[in-house]
Chain A
């Protein structure tokens, strides 16, 4: 399999605090990788470094074989790596539709037009298709601040996917979403991801979600990766059970929902 993302001895220090220590990761094209770990384990730091939000103290990051060290978030996005956030990053004074239209315009060109209208018929039609694809068409004209958390998360992820990225990093896509909504949300996201043929890496605290959707798990603890492998093996690992997941009863394994 072809490697899409590779980190070599990636380190991040905040003064005396080591947030990431010698992270060596290889993600192959088409994989769906789950990142688990307790709070402060370095999961979000890892995503932030890979997407250019944080500058690593040392190490190397390669995307499609090319170094992206020191690249800006926009350059990394343009290179084909998109992300969503723990707290959905949207434009709060715009409607859901307009949020998507802005994302569509950004995907079309890095230099927005000075005079041609942003809300073109073509963009509105495409945005409506996306609303349907993500099941949020009922919120078309609502301000994003007025829609439920789950819908906001979906809009955030939809905006990240609009630029047709090769890889998508999701930072806790189900955080703040009710237990009942989690599966629906993840099913919607994973269906969209499959259609776009995107490699996915997502941070998740809910082990049921991890078991259900990923093909591989990276377990973080105190800035280091303590286990890397198939979900069943990683979640059964004694060190992972001691330090990350606790001694939870194991559930059935499955790769992807309907």
Chain B
């Protein structure tokens, strides 16, 4: 498999992140783990944005990934992290294959609201499920990695951070290839002119369907990793504000590059953490101003800072 410049750069950055994990404090490791796991969910949002669809319900697959990991350990004796994460992705794919049949018939605000509706239906079901802890959720069982049990605390935190970085790298390389591959480019073509795609003999609906299912799998992986990192799942994962946060991060980063969601998720996590620290009652306002500034000054997201630098364009 030949790697291009972007893929080699992503690999080097991932390696640097793993090494950084050995010397950085626990709070920072945790913050970065959550940020990178959320970035995977955002990758799913961005994949759909490239095809012209905005999902306000990506929390659905984030929650499915998280709850499948939690329930796997709690009820089905699945303690291996990789098996649990894979199962979460599988469940998300099955759900997306069913919902996608309906959702891909819709466009624009109708798609956005329907995706949100399904996410809120899951939220409602989980809130009413006493066996799953209702609004409190439940804790994720101790997990292993190929039979090896990381020690609780720092050991576990560092392991899940490394897993998240490696997962992020694999997903980033795959999405990088996907965006340059037939389906990736033609999904963008669907956004630009669906009529022409149809008259080229392709089905825009099935292209969007494939994209929707792939995006669901990626987002579920992010949810599963978050569950492993926090050791807890609750219905808030499917709540509309969580899905809104993913759209926020997607806009913050822009659609310009596969690395953009990772950068945006890290920036978002830091802004939110420090906003809560210094202005605990008005931190949402800080986030609001941040998004406003990005939309006004960087309409193509934070990545446009990098692409401007590359092309020598002045702000």
A-B contact count (CB 8 A): 93
Distance, CA A92 to CA B188, complexed state (A): 11
Nearest CB on A from B88, distance (A): 21
Distance, CA A218 to CA B1, complexed state (A): 57
Q: Is the CB of B180 within 8 A of A118?
A: yes
Q: Is the CB of B201 within 8 A of A102?
A: no
Identify the closest chain B residue to A119 (Cβ).
Answer: B180
Q: Is the CB of B178 within 8 A of A114?
A: yes
Q: A105-B182, A113-B182 are in contact. Are A93 and B199 (CB under 8 A)?
A: no
Q: Chain A 77-99, CB within 8 Å of chain B: the 1/0 string?
A: 11000110100011111100010
Residue in A72, A92, A113, A159 whose CB lies within 8 Å of B198: A72
Residue in A74, A91, A118 whose CB lies within 8 Å of B203: A74
The answer to whether A103 has its CB under 8 Å from any CB of chain B is yes
The answer to whether A195 has its CB under 8 Å from any CB of chain B is no
Q: Is the CB of B195 within 8 A of A117?
A: no
Q: Is the CB of A103 within 8 A of B207?
A: no
Distance, CA A26 to CA B268, complexed state (A): 64
Q: Which residues of A contact B183 (CB under 8 A)?
A: 112-114
The answer to whether B181 has its CB under 8 Å from any CB of chain A is yes
Residue in B184, B189, B214 whose CB lies within 8 Å of A91: B189
Residue in B186, B196, B203, B214 whose CB lies within 8 Å of A105: B186
Distance, CA A69 to CA B136, complexed state (A): 56
Q: Is the CB of B189 within 8 A of A89?
A: no
Residue in B181, B186, B201 whose CB lies within 8 Å of A116: B181
Chain A at the B interface: SS class: loop
Q: Which of B157-199 contact A (CB under 8 A)?
A: 174, 177-178, 180-186, 188-189, 192-193, 195-199
The answer to whether B202 has its CB under 8 Å from any CB of chain A is yes
Q: Is the CB of B180 within 8 A of A110?
A: no
Q: A72-B198, A110-B203 are in contact. Are A115 and B193 (CB under 8 A)?
A: no
Q: Is the CB of A89 within 8 A of B182?
A: no
Q: Is the CB of B181 within 8 A of A115?
A: yes
Q: Chain A 157-170, CB within 8 Å of chain B: the 1/0 string?
A: 00110010000000
Distance, CA A106 to CA B203, complexed state (A): 10
The answer to whether B200 has its CB under 8 Å from any CB of chain A is yes
Nearest CB on B from A178, distance (A): 24
Q: A91-B192, A94-B189, A115-B174 are in contact. Are A73 and B182 (CB under 8 A)?
A: no
Q: Which residues of A contact B178 (CB under 8 A)?
A: 114-115
Q: Is the CB of B177 within 8 A of A51?
A: no
Residue in B181, B188, B196 whose CB lies within 8 Å of A159: B196
Q: Which residues of B contact A92 (CB under 8 A)?
A: 192-193
Q: Is the CB of A103 within 8 A of B186?
A: no
The answer to whether A62 has its CB under 8 Å from any CB of chain B is no
Distance, CA A94 to CA B187, complexed state (A): 13
Q: Is the CB of B200 within 8 A of A103?
A: yes
Q: Is the CB of B177 within 8 A of A115?
A: yes
Nearest CB on B from A153, distance (A): 14
Nearest CB on A from B312, distance (A): 18
Q: Is the CB of B180 within 8 A of A107?
A: no
Q: Which residues of B contact A118 (CB under 8 A)?
A: 180-182, 184-186
> Which residues of A are interface residues toward B (Cβ below 8 A)?
51, 72-74, 77-78, 82-83, 85, 89-94, 98, 102-103, 105-107, 109-110, 112-119, 159-160, 163
What are 9 A-B contacts defined by CB distance under 8 Å?
A74-B198, A82-B199, A85-B195, A89-B193, A90-B193, A102-B189, A109-B182, A118-B180, A118-B181
